[in-house]
Amino acid sequence: MSLTLPPKVTDRAFARLAEINEASGEAKALRVAVAGGGCSGFQYEIKLDDPAADDLVLEGWGQKVLVDTVSLPFLANATIDFSEELIGARFVIDNPNATSSCGCGTSFSI
């Protein structure tokens, strides 16, 4: 039986969120959610948002990352990171629960 842990957020992801908020002059949280759809059955939704009452709030660098209670089981033990590559810079999810994913990295199946 594996231990189910909430997702982790890397320092790189918190630092990028801090840069975004500083540039915009706002103090928004980063919401990471899982929704049905995408080419593999589920897809990640990543957006700036305000906390809701039942969100799991992960804090670091003075920033907040939010996960709603419905998405939490799909993101157990996952890592939320920020990646800068030739194809672009984006927040990425390393999800050990996903059995397959699509090339774009935003869709997965369990």
pLDDT of residue 98: 78
pLDDT of residue 35: 86
Q: Residue 6 carries which DSSP code? A: P
Which residues touch 32 (CB under 8 Å, ≥6 apart)?
A: 7, 44, 45, 46, 65, 66, 67, 71, 75, 80, 91, 93
Domains of the chain are 8-98 (2.60.300.12)
Residue-wise pLDDT tens for the chain (110 aa)?
Answer: 456 789 999 999 999 999 999 999 999 999 999 988 766 678 889 999 999 999 999 999 999 999 999 999 999 999 999 999 888 899 999 988 877 665 545 544 55
Predicted TM-score (pTM) of the model is 0.85
